[in-house]
Structure 1
């Protein structure tokens, strides 16, 4: 029987897209921009990272733990997420006009770049070798549904941050179009709606 979930992007491709989205946003950030724009860009990064970390912890990491419990990164990833959340909490309390704001963004992105490098050179290729395209697409569909649930309550805020942060940038069109495409893939049958339970392998 045909499974609509198989039309979804794979979970590994979606994780790479999330990484790219954060990096594109970070590349718009510079010390000479207005405090309002810097705050909007930082908030966009923080929202994206918080949602991304939750998706990985709820859907991706449990599956990989079941399949490859000896992989060291699996045990390092969530503590790294916790450290990112600590910096994000401090960043959210800091005005865009505060010189510390720039330092916190740089500290956060140093951690993110290290985390992304480990994930994209080891964990994602391992997942693609172990799980296979069909399972990766099923997990991608689950991730899309859960993403929409997490994004829903803050959709207006995220859209406003995006407009302010990317104002006048061609990157805004790229990120906006890619985000719309990602949202379109979330249209899966209601019976597949994410429920908080460990993902099966």
Structure 2
């Protein structure tokens, strides 16, 4: 019966298969599913931004997309720092979580700089591009190193319950940021 497992989970795991290093989406707890889903969504937004730059789109169109990117990243980093990382700290080496927090700080600094700018300002596109590169690097480390270690060490942490808490907190944050339900 090995084929029935892969057949039943194939469609649900296709989006996150590379991120989970062999784990199917059905075996991923809700907390990891949520984070991986966010990673995919923001990656698509950065690709859409690169296309706007290439197509020399209007500043208002670029700014609207950047606002969506920044809002999503702020909510995502908040749920990781408030809920996921504290659970991860109990299970894996501290330096891995510390590095992720430092990467978040760098991204937040760049987000603040971008939010204070107008799309026609010098370095705007470059800063958004670099933010995308930071995030891509961060996502790769989380999905290829942190998540597998956390899931392997699971112990008594209920990552499905944690995922529910993270989803609720994300909705709350998006509502506070005026993006009520726009991104999830």
Any gaps of 5 or more consecutive residues in structure 1?
1-8, 160-175, 180-201
Q: Which has the higher contact order (CA 8 A, sep 6+)?
A: 1
Query: Which residue number in structure 1 is paired with residue 8 of structure 2?
Result: none
- 1:156–1:116: structure 2 CA closer, same or farther, 3 Å change rule? closer
Task: Please show how residues 1-201 of structure 1 align to structure 2 within 5 Å.
Answer: 10-29=30-49, 30-31=52-53, 32-68=56-92, 70=93, 72-131=95-154, 135-156=158-179, 159=182, 179=184
CA RMSD of aligned residues (A): 2.2
Change (3 A) 1:134 1:79: closer
Contact 1:73-1:118 within 8 A present in 2 as well: no
TM-score (norm 1): 0.70
TM-score (norm 2): 0.76
CA distance in 1, matches of 2:162, 2:43: 24
Q: Distance in 1 between matches of 2:107 and 2:101?
A: 10
Deviations 1:24-46 (A, max 9, x none): 11111131111011101111111
Structure-2 separation of matches of 1:134 and 1:63: 7
Runs of 4+ in structure 1 off by over 6 angstroms are none
CA contact (8 A) 1:94 1:100 kept: no
Question: Distance in 1 between the 2:77 and 2:115 partners?
Answer: 17
Please state how far the C-alpha of 1:132 moved relative to its aligned partner: 6.9
Distance 1:41 1:77 in 2: 25
- Cα distance change, pair 133–35 in 1 and its aligned pair in 2 (3 A): farther
**Retained in 1: the 8 A contact 2:31–2:166?**
yes
* Counterpart for residue 9 of structure 2: none
